[in-house]
Amino acid sequence: MNIKDLPTDERPRERMMEQGAAALSPAELLAILIGSGNTEETAVQLCQRILSDCGGSLKALSRLSIRDLTKRYKGLGPAKAVSILAACELGRRRMMEAAEEKRYIKTSVDLYHTMLPLVRDIGHEESYALYLRADYSLEGRPELISKGGITETTVDVRLVVREALIRQTPVIAFAHNHPSGSTKPSREDDRLTEQLQRACKLLNIKFLDHIIVTDGNYYSYREQGKL
């Protein structure tokens, strides 16, 4: 069933032109992307079902693969699945741009809000170093140091401090995510923090913090008195 088969006042595209995007539900916005449903459902109904299966969460939707979508939902071929996931990725990148506008990182909260858009919605661990000038303004973008599995990622401390010397930045902050949602640091996290702190002290670089980021919470070594 195509969107054009719906009554005019129920067509998401026409409603968006008349009322604006904010007036549409997430399912209606997704329906605009896929254009048609299947023999039993309109595009809106199909997207409502997809979102319902994701618990109403766009974050959960973004974690699905093209294969997941095409296998589970009748009428959703690769082209439509790609359109949905491309829209999710655009939303993620928009959040990244917003994070880049915040140029000063002086607290653990600043660090958390800067990092969250970069690591939200990913199902593996990533670690980042942030290089700060003397006034705590961020020099460039957070630097991806390593990308790993679901529970761990390997970090070469030498690469972290070497980049600070190259950039001539006197302050380093570090962050990584826990896809599990737990903010509890592992023994490896503790060991890495100690190594980073020692390396920075040796080179007269201030180690501002190491935080563990989850969606909605964080753990700060500095706030916990471990730095």
Can you name the CATH fold of 3-96? Answer: DNA polymerase; domain 1 (1.10.150)
Q: Quick one: the chain helix, strand, coil %, rounded to 5? A: 50, 15, 35
- pLDDT digit string, tens, across residues 180-213: 899 999 999 999 999 999 999 999 999 999 999 9
- pLDDT digit string, tens, across residues 130-180: 999 999 999 988 999 998 765 556 788 999 999 999 999 999 999 999 998
**Terminal Cα distance for the chain, rounded:** 60
Q: What b/e string do you get for 29-43 counting C-beta neighbours within 10 Å, with b at 16 or more?
A: bbbbebebbeeebbb
The length of the chain, given as a count of residues: 227
Residues of the chain with CATH 3.40.140.10: 102-220
pLDDT at 18: 87
Main-chain phi, psi angles of 34, to 5 degrees: -90, -25
Q: What is the pTM of this model?
A: 0.58
Residues of the chain with CATH 1.10.150: 3-96
% of the chain residues with pLDDT over 90: 63
Which amino acid makes up residue 68?
D
Overall CATH class of domain 102-220: alpha beta
76 CB-near residues (< 8 Å, 6+ apart)? 34, 46, 50, 69, 70
